[in-house]
Amino acid sequence: MKLCKWCCCLMLVVWSMAVVSSSAAAQPRLLLVLWHGLAWEDVEASPLYEEGIMAVGTMNVRAGSGSLVSGAYLTIASGSRAFGVENAALMLHGDEFIHGFPAHRIYSTRTGREASAEEIVNPQIAMIINAASQASYPLQVGALAECLGQSGVQLGVFGSSDLSDQRVRWAALVGMDAEGKAARGLVSTRLLIDDADYPHGKRTDYQLLAETVLNAGVDAAIVDLGDPFRLDSLTGHLLPEQHQVLRRRAASEAWGLIAQLHLTLPDAVIVIAAPFPDYHRADIGQWLAPLVIIGKGAGMLTSGTTRWPGLVSNIDVAPTAVEVFGLDKGPMLGRTVSVEPMQTGKALGLIKQLEARVFQVHRYRNQVLRWLTGIQIMLYILTLALLIIPRAVDRRFVRLVQLALLVCMSLPLMLLVLPQGWFWPLAAAAALFVLNGWARGPLVMVMIISLATAALVTADILRGSQWIRYSVLGYDPVGGARYYGLGNEYMGILIGSLIMGWAAFKDMIRDKKTWAAGDLLLFAGVSAVIAAPQWGTNVGGTVAAICGFGVAWQLAHRRMSWFGVFLIAVLVVLALAGLMLFDSSRPEALQSHIGQTKALISREGAAAVWDIVVRKLSTNLRLLRYSIWSRVLIMGIAAMGASLFWPSRFLQWLMQYHPSIVVGIAGTLSGTVSALVFNDSGVVAAATCSLYAATTMLTLALSLKHNLLPA
């Protein structure tokens, strides 16, 4: 009898453990909460923020093109920048009606694929797939759901952002697979309560939403809060003070849901993402929004995509989600988000400072660049007029124009140090005027300005590009094209300034063919800095540097020949191959663009190479048509060409008295052409690279034309 009792007790314990373990297995390990328009004031209002358990970061939310809002949500789903489609979030349960017919019938008619009444389907999937096909980079519709589904991870989608006259289901859009289906979840109006005190007369039933998520038996859940989107869609119809009242209420209720889920699922990773910024930020083009993670410790978020502590990208959300389950991200271009441990409050304070600086640069960037490039073009036109007119002009005026040209050449240097405060560019300007009075001839000033620029740009790259990040001539994290390393603007500046500074130095010391090894070491060292993955690898810049430096070195120490051209081509191929092999061997989180490119080519073959070529050509053609830099490039080339005819003996005079300058000009032009051909935004790099050769030629041409040569 006792033996039977012990056996029954043992069986009861085993059965209880099995029930508990199966129940635990059915609970979500990942919760991706979509909070439209989330702002830092909402985060700070959370009781979870006060507990200090959050990791926070600001996230770039730019999409490919098309409808901005749906593109942002589709980007979260794809792990690559997606293309938005109007009404993309029309995700319907199969038994819901549209145009008088069940949604699953409409879906089957449009796609030729079967769908059941139990599935959630997207009748717009053909438009979404067609839009994605225009991408010249890997973009898989529904990559997040496909990756989880293929590995057996049960994914569910929950929540509705339905408006009074439109069905909007963001959770289902983010959680749909490549066929536009989501197998599990609840996104219908059953989750909504009619309430006239809420925007569109609807509010989310958060209690029912929480119960549905917890009882769904899924491993990962995508949850759309709903109320924040409805509020944001009516912002223009609300008085500011009423908008704040409704916003605070919506945030309080949303945090109540998240706190309940966290309390019930303490071991789950909760990712709270704002796929799109609120109305006010979007209206002024501030494409950054909060990303919050609970369950990975407190701290600041960062990723291999940005290598910028506190800043991540929306393409990183999907890879971060699949990483929770230990899965490979597949074709997604984003990287896994990691946490730099620190107090949540301290992290948020640093992020707010980061955003303030980034938004300030972004706000004035185009305006400042338009003024600077406009002044440069007008100055070049004035210089050409002084070269063409047959009669003499007052020497003091000509010297003033030369000084203006030198100031124009020094602007990249001043804009580089400006992020450290106004004192530094003002000090640089004062030094420029003092040195101009001391220097004997403009070539000394060309040498000083160019070498100082090249030295400071190189030093900044070695220290993590801290100045370049916040310079109006640097890359723009709000635009999201580049986040680290050497951008194309300063890449062209570095190559052009180093070659012309080196040429002016050799001209000053009248060096002929000595120091060949030293020159080679200098050029090789700077090329390595441009190429090194740990400093951001500018691949097109590496090619431009090898071509520009190679031509300059050969002309200075050898005779240029077809063998020399072949040798430069071989160096380019070896450098690219070496970079690919080295960078791809590093951990994925540390890889630069070149490592990702190798993985892409290995996966997709020649098609990936073709896509890269097409993307570069299309970008450059677009910039040639619309960018202000194309005007600068054309004007610079025209100015250099015109100076060879006015004065008529200028080229012969240069070759006779300043052969090193001719070498520098040839090397710079080679770098300019290479930068134009081998970069996504090669027009920009070519324009900044040619600045130094063009300005040097015009300054010397004025001296010869108006007899200002030193005695």
Answer whether the bond into residue 647 is a cis peptide, omega within 30°: yes
> Mind listing the pLDDT tens digit for each residue in 24-69?
445 789 999 999 999 999 999 999 998 999 999 999 999 988 899 9
Residue 14 has pLDDT above 50, yes or no: no
- Report d(CA 539, CA 536) in Å as an integer: 9
pLDDT for residue 611 = 65
Average pLDDT over residues 3-18: 37
Task: Categorize the per-residue pLDDT at 421 as very low, low, confident or very high, splitting at 50, 70 and 90.
Answer: confident
In Å, how far from its chain's centre is CA 158?
30
219 C-beta neighbours (distance < 10 Å), count:
21
Residue 486 has pLDDT above 50, yes or no: yes
Average pLDDT over residues 102-123: 94
pLDDT for residue 600 = 62
The helix or strand, by DSSP H or E, that contains position 167, with its residue range, turns out to be none
Closest residue by Cα to residue 359 from 285, 437, 291, 274: 285
Average pLDDT over residues 77-87: 95
Most confident of 343-352, 506-515, 524-533, 604-613: 343-352
> Mind listing the pLDDT tens digit for each residue in 495-518?
999 999 999 999 988 765 568 889
pLDDT for residue 24 = 42
The mean of the pLDDT values for the chain is: 88
The answer to whether residues 71 and 63 touch, using CB atoms and an 8 Å cutoff, is: yes
- Report d(CA 314, CA 288) in Å as an integer: 9
Residue 20 has pLDDT above 80, yes or no: no
- Sequence-distant (≥ 6) Cβ neighbours of residue 545 within 8 angstroms: 495, 523, 526, 527, 530, 531, 671
pLDDT for residue 74 = 97
> Mind listing the pLDDT tens digit for each residue in 131-177?
999 888 889 999 999 999 999 999 999 999 999 999 999 999 999 99
pLDDT for residue 65 = 86
pLDDT for residue 13 = 34
User: Cα-Cα-Cα-Cα dihedral of 600, 605, 611, 617, to 10°?
Assistant: 110
Please state the pTM of the whole predicted model. Answer: 0.87
- Report d(CA 692, CA 494) in Å as an integer: 10
Q: Which range (78-92, 333-347, 363-377) has the least confidence?
A: 363-377
pLDDT for residue 11 = 37
Query: Please, where are the H alpha helices in 389-422?
Result: 395-417
> Mind listing the pLDDT tens digit for each residue in 569-582?
999 989 888 877 87
Question: Which domains does the chain show, CATH number per domain?
Answer: 26-342 (3.40.720.10), 364-561+616-705 (no CATH)
Q: What percent of the chain has pLDDT over 70?
A: 89
Type of residue at 637: I
Residue 219 has pLDDT above 70, yes or no: yes
Q: How wide is the angle at C-alpha 293 spanned by C-alphas 290 and 297, nearest 5°?
A: 130
Reduce the DSSP state of residue 681 to 3 states and report it: coil
- Sequence-distant (≥ 6) Cβ neighbours of residue 200 within 8 angstroms: 162, 163, 164, 230, 233, 234
Q: Which two tokens stand for residue 492?
A: 């062209």
